[in-house]
Amino acid sequence: MDHVESLGLRERKKLRTRQAIAAAALRLFAERGYEDTTIAEIAAAADVSPRTFFSYFPSKEEVIFAEVDDRLAEVRERLAAPLEGETPLAAIRRSVVDVMHALATEHGEYGAVQVRLVFERPALQARALQRMYDAQQEVQEVICGLSPDITEADAVVVAGIAVGGVQAAVIHCRRYGYDAAQMRAALDRALAIMEDGLGSVAALSKPGPANYGGMRSSGGRPSQPG
């Protein structure tokens, strides 16, 4: 089941509003410049009030990371709900592949603006680094739950490869203006490289515990207790 389809009506409406604000912000940053764009202008472009903007984002800086935050949350949620009998390695691939393909088509021409803003501003670089570290910590915890036999050192590396690999590939593609087809091909290649590396971790090839995270059947529904 698609991540958005799995949400309730209220959650879907909130997600659409959040995405509309983020898209409007990136468009205005591209047209007017980051410093010259106000929160009031972003809110107006997204057809919401400034108060609504602040209910989704605490600052103008945070809106730049909306897509990254949402997609990393998707990866974590997918990893935490493995399919019945699925190995941790298969769960990682399934969790990452759809997100990577979605990233190939999101924000289009504004993806380069997003990357440029982070590269140009040390404060945003620091926030990006903190987000990456936090995501790796959370993914590491999920991987340890999926694979009880994995060592802590291996789990740290696996999380770093999964999170860092996606981020590095997306940043490169957006920075150099890859179109959707080129970006999809590059992300598929990045995924293949990650799989080659992760395949050497034997613990990832053993099915995870049957009671982890509410195992789902291949139909996408949580398995029910007997």
CA atoms within 13 A on the CB side of 205: 8
Predicted pLDDT at 44: 97
Predicted pLDDT at 80: 82
- Cα-Cα-Cα-Cα torsion 194, 104, 21, 129, nearest 10 degrees, comes to 30
Instruction: Give me the residue label for tokens 């800086």.
Output: 61
Predicted pLDDT at 106: 64
Predicted pLDDT at 162: 87
Cα–Cα distance between 182 and 30 in angstroms, integer? Answer: 22
Low-confidence ranges of the chain (pLDDT < 70): 1-7, 104-109, 210-226
Predicted pLDDT at 211: 55
pLDDT tens-digit readout, 84-114: 888 999 888 888 877 777 776 665 567 788 8
What does DSSP assign to residue 83?
Answer: B
Q: List CB contacts of 170: < 8 A, sequence separation 6 or more.
A: 100, 103, 111, 183, 187
Cα–Cα distance between 17 and 51 in angstroms, integer? Answer: 13
pLDDT tens-digit readout, 137-172: 988 998 999 899 999 999 999 999 988 888 888 888
3-state secondary structure of 216: strand
The pTM (predicted TM-score) of the whole model is 0.75
Q: How far is CA 80 from CA 6, 98, 139, in A?
A: 15, 15, 9
Cα–Cα distance between 92 and 57 in angstroms, integer? Answer: 29
